[in-house]
Amino acid sequence: MTKVIAINSSSRSDKKSKTKLMLNHLIKGMEKAGADVDLVNLRDKKIKYCAGCFSCWTKTPGKCVLKDDMTEEIFSQWKKADLAIYATPLFCHHMNALMSTFQERLLPSVLPFFEFDSDRTVHPERDKRPDFVWMSVCGFPDISEFETFSNYNKRSSNKKLIAEIYRAAAESMVDPKYKQTLQNILDATELAGIELIQSRKISQNTLITITQPLDDQKTIAQEVNMHWQEQISG
């Protein structure tokens, strides 16, 4: 049985979070395919910032000296997983602060030494790290909003990245006028979960359905601008 840890870094409630909406359906598919999935909502956890002390490399090899939920609970769950799902809203073309804090606290899982992977300098693994998938949503209608984030993920993957799931216009997709399109997106996200467990990849057709545009950019922009003007006007 595939052991999965799903890390959700959205700070919103489940009813408002589009990150969680997408993640829920991905998890549903993985569980249908027989995976054992542990969901971790970072907003409910106490995780301190990495202090940059390098104690996890020297004084307490493989263990962070900070006492919090990351050290006492989440890190051990993560190490035992075969697959990790990292789900984050896109903030300033990158993961949000909660996810960044989590990622930085994974430092004990590597050794301090330098090794070479082709033309790159890398830290070798201390323990076997899980393969991983990045999932992210953003409000802008352009899928190109994820280019910088995707480049970062590929650059830092150490060959462990097996899939990326990005959904633009996420705030707009729950508008009732896009009800059928939303259902198609969520069904495809569930299918992606099944595919990840069964074949460790997501088919191109599934990704095309997940990332399909809701409407043309100008229409989305007009709808979003009208929404915010109503909110401002009260």
The mean per-residue pLDDT over the stretch 6-30 comes to 96
Is 129's pLDDT higher than 80? yes
pLDDT reported for residue 120 = 84
More confident residue, 220 or 132: 132
Structure tokens at 92: 């300033």
Q: Are strands 83-89 and 131-137 parallel, antiparallel or unpaired?
A: parallel
41 sits in which H/E element? strand 36-41
Is 234's pLDDT higher than 80? no
pLDDT reported for residue 15 = 86
Tell me the fold of 3-233: Rossmann fold (3.40.50)
pLDDT in tens, 54-111: 999 999 999 999 999 999 999 999 999 999 999 999 999 999 999 999 999 999 999 9
pLDDT in tens, 151-176: 999 988 778 999 999 999 999 999 99
pLDDT reported for residue 185 = 98
The overall average pLDDT reported for the chain is 95
pLDDT reported for residue 159 = 83
Sign of CA dihedral 233, 179, 196, 79: positive
Domain residue ranges of the chain, discontinuous segments joined by +: 3-233
Phi, psi of 145 (to 5 degrees): -60, -25
The mean per-residue pLDDT over the stretch 24-43 comes to 98
What is the C-alpha to C-alpha distance for residues 216 and 172, in angstroms, rounded to an integer? 12
